[in-house]
Amino acid sequence: MKVGIVADEIDRNFARAVAIGKPLGLSRYEIRSLTTGRFPLCDAEEIREVERVAAREEVVITAISPGLFKYTEDGATFRREMREIYPRAAEWAHRWSLPGLIVFGFHKPGATEANAASIRPSDPPLQVIAWLAETAARAAADGLLLMIEPEPMCYADTGRATAEMICRAGGGPLRINYDPGNVAWLTNRDPIDEFDAVAPLIANVHVKDYRPGPVWLPAGDGIINYRAHFEALRRIRYKGPVSLEPHMEGCAENIRRCKLALEQSWQP
C-alpha cells in the first residue's frame, strides 16, 4: 500500500504541496483545486505546471476530481458541465494515463454542509438516474471510469445509496470513491456495516477520521474503526490508490501525523 494525498489538502500551489509532502514520503497526489480554481476550469498554464512539477519531482498523479455533479440539480447545469467540464477533465485523464474521474452523485435540493444530516433520505428522481446513465455511457465510450464519492449534500450520500444509484443507472463504468469519513459525517457513526454492499465497486479510497462537531482527525482518532475498514480492503485484495484527505491545516506536522496514523491502522 502506497499512501497518497489530495494535493490541495496541503496547498493549492502544487509545487508547495509536493515540497511539503515528498519529504514525508508522499509521492502520489490527487488533483482537485489549484490556486486559480477547481480543476480543470483553472488556468491552463497552472495545469501544465502541475505536469512539469510531477515530472521534475518524480511524483505520480493518481486521480483528478473536477467536481462534476456536486451542485447539479437541473438539466441546464448538467448540460453545461457535460459541455464545459467533462471533456477537459477526460482529456487530462487520458493524458495522465488515469483510469477515470472522481465525481459526485447530484445535489439534493436545499442541502448544505450544515443541514445535510437533517434532510431525510430520498430516492433520486428518475431524471437524476437518467443523467447518471447518460454520463456512464459517455465515459464508457471514452474508456474511463466514473468514481462517485459519497457526499452528504448529494443523493449519493452513503456508500449503500451510491451502490443503489449505480445499479439503477446500469453499472458499466460507474464505481465508488470509498470515503468512510464523508459517510460518518452524515450519519455520526462508523459505516463499516455497508462495506460488503460497496466492495465490488471500490476504485479509489479517501482517508480521514471524524468526530461529531464536525472535527476531522487522523485515522484511528475518531469514530471510524479504520483497522476494520483496511482489513476489509485487504480481504477483497484492493490494490488501488489510498489517499489522505485530512481536512486539517496542511502543515507538515499535521500531514506527518495523518500519514503515520494511516500506516499504523493499515497494519494487520
What is the full per-residue pLDDT of the chain (268 aa) written as tens digits?
889 999 999 999 999 999 999 999 999 999 999 999 999 999 999 999 999 999 999 999 999 999 999 999 999 999 999 999 999 999 999 999 999 999 999 999 999 999 998 887 778 999 999 999 999 999 999 999 999 999 999 999 999 999 999 999 999 999 999 999 999 999 999 999 999 999 999 999 999 999 999 999 999 999 999 999 999 999 999 999 999 999 999 999 999 999 999 999 999 8
> What is the DSSP secondary-structure string of 147-214?
EEPP-TTBS--SHHHHHHHHHHTT-TTEEEEE-HHHHHHHHSS-GGGGHHHHGGGEEEEEE-EEETTT
The CA distance from 132 to 205, in Å, is: 21
Which uninterrupted H or E stretch holds 70? none
Residues facing 147 on adjacent strands: 102, 175
Strand duo 209-211 + 215-217: pairing = antiparallel
Please give the angle made by the CA atoms of 118, 124 and 128, to the nearest 5 degrees: 130
Tell me which CATH code domain 3-266 carries. Answer: 3.20.20.150
Q: Which of 241, 236, 256, 164 is nearest to 206 (CA)?
A: 241
Looking at the DSSP bridge assignments, the partners of residue 28 are: 60
Question: What is the per-residue DSSP string for 4-63?
Answer: EEEGGGT-SSHHHHHHHHGGGT--EEEE-EETTEETTSS-HHHHHHHHHHHHHHT-EEEE
Q: Which residue has the cell 465490488?
A: 200
Where exactly are the structural domains of the chain? 3-266
- Quote the CA–CA distance of 18 and 57 in Å, as a whole number: 8
The tens digit of pLDDT for each residue in 52-83 reads 999 999 999 999 999 999 999 999 999 999 99
Distance between CA atoms of 39 and 205, rounded to whole angstroms?
19
Q: Rounded to an integer, what distance in angstroms lies between the CA atom of residue 251 and that of residue 184? A: 25
What's the grid cell of residue 62? 493518481
Strand partners, 37: 34
